[in-house]
Structure 1
């Protein structure tokens, strides 16, 4: 890792500087990078928004946010006093393009002070419908600079469907090179997700087994106890398939299913991910009902509190056809994975909040133990937990202590908290640092985004054109609709969960 003194001077311009994402994630991440010595020695943070703020008032706003949301707790006064001197605010009404002249003046002021190697990172922490307008304004006012010193970071959702994603890619590619575009998916910045590549490609133990010969099936499950909360208006136009499977879960599928890259190079790794998406078997309309399940939560009780059903949430249509749960069975048609099902599941108001990848290995070819000895027999599983705990578990059979030969499954566990003293960085810390370094390994490429949209569009079209008559079809604090259990049970399997320890 480069030392701060070796990093190029950097100007962060955060569109949506008064918004929730900046307050909860970006500002705390930038402050943590600074306190731990990963920020350039010369940097500036320019927050933008329509609300009029002085620099001092804006600095106080961010101080409250960092104190509340930083993983390191409240700021140290001496550190904050120095850090906050680099925070500036620029009032911008995106629909009034003349205000970009003010922003241009602020950027040029810092560039003159920092020198010719100064890089500018534009972070679009705004509503997706504003992405094209901001990009066009940056180009119009000649703020995009050269490709070595200018980057644009775009939050998900990247498009609403395949056509809108293509349109956005086309617009951006007319202003920026692909090298300048950082499509962010915060899931890829999580420590355990990054460790997937290290686990697979830095060890010789599992790679010979990582194929259809030894693996029976794979599950990727990301569930939430929370409902849509105050995001009902947004969620109505998205749904679980768009909001989670098209990006987060398909990214995890790529990490599990990809071939070994030649080197740890951004484009080399992203090439291997795109290969996976292109190998996923496309859906025919008549296959949707047997390969995909949707659900919508009803009212219920969660941790002793009554919660409303989705159709009673703020901003939600009383007759909504939007799914809050989705489960899909995918197949990857290549030599490594032919015939092995990948089950992806996500939902809101589920029994627990968890993100788990489970690799189920095939059973032993011949059982030598009697049923009495192996009454709790379980096939070997590799469980990669992203949350609530960051861990990797290998479940194997072992003899229970005692005079009798009795087998039961045991866990061989690697747990981050039990192994390392330091806290893992937040995902946004990792991704913001990569943006400073110009490392696109953990960011999505344009063709990757389009390939993911192409896979889910048949399901989206089917569900949008055929209203579900069963909604709501699962209770809050459950594991989703019965049809999801049937989806995997037809193949002789069941959904795995990881017991949460107090």
Structure 2
């Protein structure tokens, strides 16, 4: 049973893109469960905004269908949903038309005691990136922005990835949103940062004295990060043709995992102290551009991708990336970090593997056998949520032969409690004003600068083909041995 997370202010949640796939699959089920678990304040409102021709009742029916589809085996309690649905409202808006936002402002004001007061507003942009600038500018014109509000209370805005499509567009979006909201009001969301095992990396590293002294170039041989899926792009052909895997996975999820593993201890647990250390990692990444990118990066495309729906038969879009990173700072100089991410690979897994150096002399096997029993820490994020430590032990028998074994901690087995999903956790953080697990402006721009160098180096190149449900292109082997 969950405990009440925090005492939250009463607020109005304004969801742009209320008819989107993300809203239906993640946001509405998350908000409903938070309400069911008494994780929301006593008085809250949810206002859906999109171009769909809904009224309040049809919108409530749409939300109910979304919740039922999220967990088909669970029957919604009629009384509980009735209480929840009484807080749901809808306003049809053409998001590009400034004049339509007057109706939204009027609906917001209906929910408060004094018409001149809008109270606390949390805006969420579940929309294509191309609409973000329109929405932000129109909020400002309607007096709903953060810098010149026509209403009382706080203002916050949550913006979904991709945050721009390259460094130039990210800078422009940062400029536009910065004219309407202060940085402390902006929540750039990456749902990976809401995952329990990802948040635990900070605790695992800095609360255990047995690991921190070893967490450096003197003891660690290499670090690998895998973000693999055993399915293809499904119905996202148009999206993937525009984005590709570097933008979809590497620029955000992968680099955020890298920063969590590699960052220095923060001076405290304030949001900016933690994000300062992550930004230092991004600034320390050895740039990958031109020939350096071609030596340290392999891009791939699974066989049959070009026959997927809404995909060009001549597409050069990558569905796989393997990258060898180097972090040029005191702690990590010379330690390779390997990333493998892709679609239609042999298994679905997201994990981080820290491999330690071998002992100076191996008494228990051939000199080259240490890689078989090298100590490792394996942090699995999905499908399981575990931390395993690998070490060598004697195989039973008369000979001194070493085998690797694992000690494993499992979240579910150890705690056995109902956990929040990443979106539930990050929504509560945004409501409470905690930005630690959201991405700051400088880190967005640093990560785009790094990824843009790779993209430019491979522009116009055909990605290496790989078989479906394989380990990726055979050319990846050169990164490990290089």
- TM category, shorter: over 0.9
Distance 2:6 2:333 in 1: 50
1:210 aligns with 2:191: no
Residue number among 458, 478, 482 corresponding to 2:470 in the alignment: 478
Q: What SS does the aligned partner of 1:111 have?
A: coil
What is the match of residue 233 of structure 1? 238
SS in 2 for 1:296: strand
Task: Tell me the CA shift for residue 6 of structure 1.
Answer: 3.3
Aligned residues of 2:237 and 2:311 also touching (Cα < 8 A): yes
1:234 CA drift (Å): 1.3
Question: How far has the Cα of 1:330 moved from its partner?
Answer: 0.8
| Number of residue equivalences | 476
Q: Counterparts in 2 of 1:57-456, with a 5 A limit?
A: 57-70=58-71, 73-112=74-113, 118-145=119-146, 149-298=154-303, 309-371=304-366, 377-402=372-397, 404-456=399-451
Residue 316 of structure 1: how far off its partner (Å): 0.9
1:305: which partner in 2? none
Provide the C-alpha distance between the structure 2 equivalents of 1:2 and 1:413, rounded to a whole number of angstroms. Answer: 27
Q: Distance in 2 between matches of 1:241 and 1:270?
A: 22
Q: Is the 8 A contact 1:219 1:359 kept in 2?
A: yes
Residue 322 of structure 1, CA deviation: 0.7
Is the Cα contact below 8 Å between 1:225 and 1:477 reproduced in 2? Answer: yes
The equivalent residue for 1:493 is none
Q: How far apart are 1:286 and its partner, in Å?
A: 1.7
Question: SS where residue 319 of structure 1 aligns?
Answer: coil
In structure 2, the residue corresponding to 1:321 is in which secondary structure?
coil
> For 1:81 and 1:414, how far apart are their aligned partners in 2?
40
Contact 2:219–2:357 at 8 Å: present in 1 too?
A: yes
Name the CA shift for 1:394/1:59 in 2 (closer, same or farther; >3 Å): same
- Cα pair 1:121 1:152 within 8 Å, conserved: yes
User: What is the TM-score with the length of structure 2 in the denominator?
Assistant: 0.94
SS of structure 2 residue aligned to 1:27: helix
Match of 1:303 in 2: none
Q: Give 1:363 deviation, angstroms.
A: 0.4
Q: Give the Cα separation in 1 of the matches to 2:366 and 2:328.
A: 37
Cα displacement (A) at 1:77: 2.2
In structure 2, distance between residues paired with 1:130 and 1:176: 17
Q: Residues of 1 paired with 2:168 and 2:6: CA distance?
A: 43
- 1:487 paired with 2:479, answer yes
Distance in 1 between residues matched to 2:381 and 2:146, nearest whole Å: 38
Q: Give the distance between the partners of 2:259 and 2:74, measured in 1 at CA.
A: 35
Judging changes above 3 Å, is the alpha-carbon distance between structure 1 residues 145 and 255 closer, same or farther for their aligned structure 2 residues? closer
CA deviation map 1:256-303 (0-9, x unaligned): 0000001110000000000000011112412121111100000xxxxx
Change (3 A) 1:376 1:199: closer
Answer whether contact 2:157 2:186 (CA < 8 A) is retained: yes
Gaps of 5+ in 2: none
